[in-house]
Amino acid sequence: MDRIGLNQARFGPGFISGTIFTGGFNSVTRGHVIDCSMEKSEEQGKSVNECMMKGCDEKAINPCDCGFKICRECYLDCLSSKGGGHCPGCKELILMVIRFAALGLFLAWRIRHPNREAMWLWGMSVTCEVWFAFSWLLDQLPKLCPVNRITDLSVLKDRYESPNLRNPKGRSDLPGIDVFVSTADPEKEPPLVTANTILSILAVDYPVEKLACYLSDDGGALLTFEALAETASFARTWVPFCRKHSIEPRNPEVYFGQKKDFLKNKVRLDFVRERRRVKREYDEFKVRINSLPESIRRRSDAYNAHEELRAKKKQMEMGGNLAEPLKVVKGIWMSDGSHWPGTWSSAEPDHSRGDHAGIIQAMLAPPNSEPVYGSEADAENLIDSTEVDIRLPMLVYVSREKRPGYDHNKKAGAMNALVRTSAIMSNGPFILNLDCDHYIHNSLALREGMCFMLDRGGDRICYVQFPQRFEGIDPSDRYANHNTVFFDVSMRAYDGLQGPMYVGTGCIFRRIALYGFSPPRATEHHGWFGSRKFKLLLRKKAKEPNPEEIALPVGGYEEDNDDLDIESLLLPKRFGNSTSLAASIPVAEYQGRLLQDLQGKGNQGRPAGSLAVPREPLDAATVAEAISVISCFYEDRTEWGKRVGWIYGSVTEDVVTGYRMHNRGWRSIYCVTKKDAFRGTAPINLTDRLHQVLRWATGSVEIFFSKNNALFASRRMKFLQRVAYLNVGLYPFTSMFLIVYCFLPALSLFSGQFIVQSLNVTFLVLLLLVSLSLCMLALLEIKWSGITLHDWWRNEQFWLIGGTSAHPAAVLQGLLKVIAGVDISFTLTSKSATPDDAEDEFADLYIVKWSFLMLPPITIMMINMIAIAVGSARTLYSPFPEWSKLLGGVFFSFWVLCHLYPFAKGLMGRSGRVPTIVYVWSGLLSITISLLWINISPPTGGHQGLRFEFP
């Protein structure tokens, strides 16, 4: 039980036997066990840490990446030829083979039996099928060993927050975490949403003095700035209230909007009274936020009028011509009567979106290290906080400098600016990144993440990614916004390899991983040349110990051997040696401490990199330095975004950033908690959703093309992890084949042909086999991931909708970028605040905005509908009707149409119900067109029939 509440429970064989994700030894729980997988290992009479091989009672060391518990000796035995050449924990692979065989047989049959009557149809369909099989293979391969993890927060508490010899007072010894929130536009990202996110962070359950929250405002907007100031002030009420009454979630908008009984489990008598007061205070806070735009406008108007008057007066005094128009800039004014340094609505030079100074304001100063208790309720204090620690974490507003002619690299640039600023202001060894609309839903989320980071071997984890979960999605989830197949199937599968992708939000990073360091012991390469088998071979040959094992300092971080100048990243060179940094300590000393920390020395047994340089009171000099590193000039001269921090040059900086870390040999962790750790919003109307998918798909294409992130240049990435990324990269290309395939049933109906010459038994049996195995596989995925059939079906549907609209557009965009260098614009995904209309929570769902992306799916839909009509008419009129061919065609057309159903619904917008006249018209049109078709190209059978009758 020496592990920090970590538990790697593989899906046990008890779920469904004889399938891809089960079978074999699966209960490789490492350490503290909670779920049923533990019982399984107990049943087998093995203790948790014993080797799982029969007759062996050695201590298990998990030498294989699959996590199977086996001792070193047995493992090496298994790897040798007499042991079968592979680890017994990885044996699901055999099952996979059966499935491939079925698919292979089917394809082989299809290829060997061309439809000679319609070679074109056969050729097209077989090409598509081969590609689908390939992409299916790429999709399945990484799913060999999905992982589910469980943490035990009590162990974390025991280890880091209980009194012991080294820590007699039991003060929290948890490492510092800097939380980064990004916002870019107060119009599209309502300040109230951001404010609620910030409140959920300030109230999170983590040692206050170890926490710092940074808001990056790429809009440089006074509105955001003032909203944050209001938030800081409301936090003085909200945070103690949350702490005192264990409020969940700690986002006031969500908390007060909950429909469930808020008295459940509440025992304190003052709760009801205090809740009422805080609710009232929150309502007032909301109104204040809502009134901010107007108050800023009025204030600015007043100041501007005043300025104008003064200028007029001056003009008169100087004896100027009064008729001459005066040039007075219309500025934006702060409440203290000074100009706002950020952007103005008049967009003057030095005050526009792409042209303004850097701004930093610590809205809440760093707290004391000792708890501070509040006082009884009075006029100022809404709640009695005598027993509550009322300190608040540091809160900082940051708007990085922007100047024309500099690429600001969107979100990635903003995040890197925060990495540098925070290094100077708080330097937390861990960083949590959240989008402005993703709040902390589970106040223990940070602790969950720390369980992994501080666990044994945790020093090789670059980030812990939590799933994206959403609120405000329509109940039927029409456009698969929940994306459960990705977040509950794929991501867990990747966790069984080298780790999940970074998806942009809800992710805790290790700071030094962002700095471009490689993980400790990184020289253990993956792949064949890094495999134990190969090393063993080498050792046998050389008859000497493996030099790698001796040379590697355990616990130290190796600087990436690219020509990376790590000092220039940590500190701007021009500060020289005299300036103080981070903690009013000399730079040399700071660097010394940091390096010691990185090498795992001098931090009292804690994992390397977990220690922050102690934070001292924030002074003006520190903030001034923090400002200098968010200058775009500074950005321009350093290597940020090329190899460290958030990577630039992609619309999905997140995937690329995670990719680079995996590439260096880091591992990432996927942490799905019972109670969602974070929650956010997603666009629920068709157009916005398609555009969001377009962005993701474009990112995928970029991954595939960009030579900077070349997929096969990876040095330390595992093979299957590479396959996983490759799969993401190839995904949009599959759409090309998908579009063709969606037209095939229509073409087949029009021409009266089918993809096979005749529906013979072999074909049907093989088809049945393939579809059955696909269904089984889908059901299995559903079973082990816990998603519903509905989720899965929605995902299928949206896969086709996105695959025929956004994905091909992304391929085009990607090609344009690669070939012609046309840059891709990053459009902010729109976020709706609380619904305006309480009656109609999902009003957004019915907004229809025309987009070119909709053209292909509409065409596919129309053509298939017409084709069904034409095909039916042709068969009906034919003297030798080929019913089986019609049935085949209609079935596949119908399959396509079913997938497009949500799309069709989305196009209809609000009305939802289609007027009957539409049916009448489409019926009429279809019949006319089919009749026309039959007249133009009469069915061959019909011709012959006619000739026979009238010779």
Ligand X SMILES: O=c1ccn([C@@H]2O[C@H](COP(=O)(O)OP(=O)(O)O[C@H]3O[C@H](CO)[C@@H](O)[C@H](O)[C@H]3O)[C@@H](O)[C@H]2O)c(=O)[nH]1
Tell me the catalytic residues: 218, 654
* Angstrom distances, CA of residue 170 to CA of 133, 155, 166, 177: 58, 14, 9, 19
The distance in angstroms from the start CA to the end CA of the chain is 93
Of the two residues 434 and 800, which places its CB atom closer to ligand X in the complex?
Answer: 434
Does residue 708 belong to the site contacting Mn ion (CB under 5 A)? no
| Tokens linked to 317 | 């005094």
| Tokens linked to 322 | 């009064």
Single residue of 3, 143, 210, 410 touching ligand X by CB under 6 A: 410
Does residue 828 belong to the site contacting ligand X (CB under 6 A)? yes
Single residue of 212, 289, 436, 801 touching ligand X by CB under 6 A: 436
Does residue 135 belong to the site contacting Mn ion (CB under 5 A)? no
Which option in Mn ion, ligand X, none does residue 178 bind, with CB closer than 5 to 8 A by kind?
none
Is 182 labelled as part of a ligand binding site?
A: yes
Answer yes or no: are the C-beta atoms of 50 and 69 closer than 8 Å.
yes
Q: Segment near Mn ion (CB under 5 A), from 40-48, 454-462, 828-836, 874-882? A: 828-836
Question: In the chain, count of helices (H) and strands (E)?
Answer: 30, 18
By CB atoms closer than 10 A (0-12, 13-18, 19+), residue 288 is middle
Answer yes or no: are the C-beta atoms of 864 and 893 closer than 8 Å.
yes
Closest separation between CB of residue 477 and Mn ion, Å?
17
By CB atoms closer than 10 A (0-12, 13-18, 19+), residue 883 is exposed
- For the chain, the helix, strand and coil percentages under 3-state DSSP, each to the nearest 5: 50, 10, 40
Of the two residues 129 and 218, which places its CB atom closer to ligand X in the complex?
Answer: 218
Task: Give backbone dihedrals phi and psi of 828, rounded to 5 degrees, phi first.
Answer: -65, 135
Rounded (5°) CA angle 451-452-457: 125
Does residue 603 belong to the site contacting ligand X (CB under 6 A)? no
Closest CA to 623 of 676, 581, 563: 581
Does residue 618 belong to the site contacting ligand X (CB under 6 A)? no
Is 718 labelled as part of a ligand binding site?
A: no
Identify the H or E element spanning 678: strand 678-679
Single residue of 172, 829, 834, 851 touching ligand X by CB under 6 A: 829
Of the two residues 315 and 829, which places its CB atom closer to Mn ion in the complex?
Answer: 829
Closest separation between CB of residue 345 and Mn ion, Å?
25
Answer yes or no: are the C-beta atoms of 522 and 716 closer than 8 Å.
yes
Q: Segment near Mn ion (CB under 5 A), from 161-169, 279-287, 827-835, 901-909? A: 827-835
Q: Segment near ligand X (CB under 6 A), from 44-52, 448-456, 691-699, 942-950? A: 691-699
Q: Segment near ligand X (CB under 6 A), from 576-584, 712-720, 826-834, 890-898? A: 826-834
Closest separation between CB of residue 181 and ligand X, Å?
7
Answer yes or no: are the C-beta atoms of 806 and 693 closer than 8 Å.
yes
Q: Segment near Mn ion (CB under 5 A), from 271-279, 384-392, 665-673, 822-830? A: 822-830
Stretch 466-505 residues interacting with ligand X (CB under 6 A):
504-505
Pairing of strands 430-435, 177-183: parallel
Closest separation between CB of residue 731 and ligand X, Å?
14
Answer yes or no: are the C-beta atoms of 817 and 704 closer than 8 Å.
no
Single residue of 622, 652, 875, 893 touching ligand X by CB under 6 A: 652
Closest separation between CB of residue 692 and ligand X, Å?
5
| Tokens linked to 252 | 């006031």
Of the two residues 50 and 189, which places its CB atom closer to ligand X in the complex?
Answer: 189
Is 625 labelled as part of a ligand binding site?
A: no
Closest separation between CB of residue 242 and Mn ion, Å?
25
Does residue 189 belong to the site contacting ligand X (CB under 6 A)? yes
Identify the H or E element spanning 945: helix 940-949
383-389, Cβ contacts within 8 angstroms, sequence gap of 24 or more: 383/237, 383/240, 383/241, 383/244, 383/270, 383/274, 383/277, 383/278, 384/270, 384/274, 385/240, 385/244, 387/244, 388/240, 388/243, 388/244, 389/208, 389/240, 389/243
* Rounded distance between C-alpha atoms, residue 135 and residue 727, angstroms: 7
Closest separation between CB of residue 336 and ligand X, Å?
27
Closest separation between CB of residue 175 and ligand X, Å?
24
Of the two residues 471 and 524, which places its CB atom closer to ligand X in the complex?
Answer: 471
Chain position whose Cβ is nearest to ligand X: 504
Closest separation between CB of residue 821 and ligand X, Å?
21
Is 411 labelled as part of a ligand binding site?
A: yes
* Rounded distance between C-alpha atoms, residue 464 and residue 453, angstroms: 8
Is 189 labelled as part of a ligand binding site?
A: yes
636 contact partners, CB below 8 Å, separation of at least 6: 406
Single residue of 209, 218, 389, 791 touching ligand X by CB under 6 A: 218
Single residue of 459, 654, 676, 882 touching ligand X by CB under 6 A: 654
Does residue 692 belong to the site contacting ligand X (CB under 6 A)? yes
Q: Segment near ligand X (CB under 6 A), from 180-188, 286-294, 354-362, 723-731? A: 180-188
Give the amino acid at 202.
L
544 contact partners, CB below 8 Å, separation of at least 6: none
Is 410 labelled as part of a ligand binding site?
A: yes
Site for Mn ion (CB under 5 A): how many residues?
2
Closest separation between CB of residue 828 and ligand X, Å?
4
Is 54 labelled as part of a ligand binding site?
A: no
| Tokens linked to 217 | 């405002």
Single residue of 32, 236, 411, 510 touching ligand X by CB under 6 A: 411
Does residue 695 belong to the site contacting ligand X (CB under 6 A)? yes
* Rounded distance between C-alpha atoms, residue 288 and residue 290, angstroms: 5
Q: Map residues 529-558 to x or -, x wherever contact with Mn ion holds by CB under 5 A.
A: ------------------------------
* Rounded distance between C-alpha atoms, residue 502 and residue 703, angstroms: 14
Stretch 405-444 residues interacting with Mn ion (CB under 5 A):
435
Answer yes or no: are the C-beta atoms of 701 and 811 closer than 8 Å.
yes
Q: Segment near ligand X (CB under 6 A), from 338-346, 481-489, 733-741, 824-832? A: 824-832
Single residue of 829, 851, 859, 922 touching Mn ion by CB under 5 A: 829
Of the two residues 828 and 887, which places its CB atom closer to ligand X in the complex?
Answer: 828
Task: Give backbone dihedrals phi and psi of 433, rounded to 5 degrees, phi first.
Answer: -110, 130
Single residue of 74, 184, 419, 489 touching ligand X by CB under 6 A: 184
Single residue of 26, 182, 483, 930 touching ligand X by CB under 6 A: 182
Of the two residues 184 and 873, which places its CB atom closer to ligand X in the complex?
Answer: 184
Evaluate the omega torsion of the peptide bond into residue 13 and state whether it is cis, within 30 degrees of 0.
Answer: no
Of the two residues 402 and 664, which places its CB atom closer to ligand X in the complex?
Answer: 402
Using DSSP's 3-state secondary structure scheme, residue 359 falls into: strand
Of the two residues 416 and 893, which places its CB atom closer to ligand X in the complex?
Answer: 416
| Alpha helices, DSSP H, located in 162-270 | 191-202, 222-245, 252-257
Q: Segment near ligand X (CB under 6 A), from 176-184, 221-229, 630-638, 810-818? A: 176-184
Site for ligand X (CB under 6 A): how many residues?
21
Closest separation between CB of residue 503 and ligand X, Å?
6
Q: Which residues are annotated as a binding site for UDP-alpha-D-glucose?
A: 182, 188-189, 218, 410
Binding site for ligand X (CB under 6 A): 182-184, 189, 216, 218, 410-411, 414, 435-436, 504-505, 652, 654, 692, 695, 699, 826, 828-829
Q: Which residues are annotated as a binding site for Mn(2+)?
A: 411, 435
Q: Which residues are annotated as a binding site?
A: 182, 188-189, 218, 410-411, 435
Binding site for Mn ion (CB under 5 A): 435, 829
